[in-house]
Structure 1
Amino acid sequence: MADRNPDEVALLTAMITKGSENPKSIAARIGPARTYALAGSALAVAAERRFPTGSTYAEVAAYSKGLADRFPNAAELLKPTVVEAMIRSGRGEEGLLDGLDVSLVRQLLLMLPYALMTDLELSAVDKESFIDEVIEMTDEESE
């Protein structure tokens, strides 16, 4: 099991759990570098779980188009082409985020794992597995 900092666990839990603490307030305690490293890994894990190998671009595009309806308060941020690029980047495609506003990418890094994972109705064990995988991935990338 990965080393588990309580604030990191709280951040990742908030990123995938309805009714949790706002990830932005937790991120302030962790600091931006570690927060966005964790968020990038969280997006990668969430994108792979929601769109496993064999998923099509059409499935990702259709999902991306529906997010603004699911989250009307964030509709301005959830532009389908940007969301699709973020998800596909999370699945390992490169160059799709070139030229995007860094602030928008950061906001979506905190939002998209929630959108991707909450509709999977995760059990407590699934959430723990997600958190461990994200922390482990982040730690490996920072070595």
Structure 2
Amino acid sequence: MIRNDNEVALLKATATKGSQSPSDLAEVVGSNRTYTLMSHALTVGASRKFTGVDVAGQVTEYVSDLKNRYPAVDILKPSVAEALLRAALGEPERLEGINPNDAGALLFFLAHVLLVDQQLDDAQVESFVDQVLRLASSV
């Protein structure tokens, strides 16, 4: 698997609090590739965060917590956030009826916050990057 330095930096910035701005790196990587990487980042992050019996309940609770923590973030629409997370966890039908502009805007924010909340150490960040790049290379 070929590792592009800009893509690696984008994924590390997505998973790391206080790192280089992911949005600056996204411009370098390009919008289509960034969307692909962020979609897979959300899938990897969500599969690590939400496990067990009541995944739907965990997602609802997490989104409610996000809305309380980030009340000024206009793009954080609970129904869209839940749909994105549930789609990332294997329920793509949850995206039916969701405005693509709302989903696209929220995807980047949601992936970043979800991963930063997990407080990954350096080895876990590297594992995350490798996993996302493997998924993205199979597209």
The alpha carbon displacement at 1:44 in A equals 0.5
Shift in Å at residue 83 of structure 1? 0.9
Runs of 4+ in 1 over 6 A off after TM superposition: none
TM-score between both structures, scaled by the size of structure 1: 0.89
Shift of 1:112: 1.1
Matches within 5 A, 1:1-143: 2-74=1-73, 76-141=74-139
Distance 1:106 1:130 in 2: 21
Shift of 1:6: 0.8
- The AA in structure 1 aligned to 2:128 is F
AA in 1 matched with 2:56? Y
Q: CA shift at 1:135, angstroms?
A: 0.4
In structure 2, what is the Cα distance between the partners aligned to 1:39 and 1:107? 11
Over the matched positions of the two proteins, sequence identity in percent amounts to 37
**What are structure 1's unaligned runs of at least 5 residues?**
none
1:20-46 CA-to-partner distances (Å, cap 9, x unmatched) read: 222221111111111111111101101
Distance 1:71 1:138 in 2: 29
Q: Is the Cα contact below 8 Å between 2:44 and 2:132 reproduced in 1?
A: yes
List alignment gaps of at least 5 residues for structure 2. Answer: none
Query: How far apart are 1:127 and its partner, in Å?
Result: 0.3
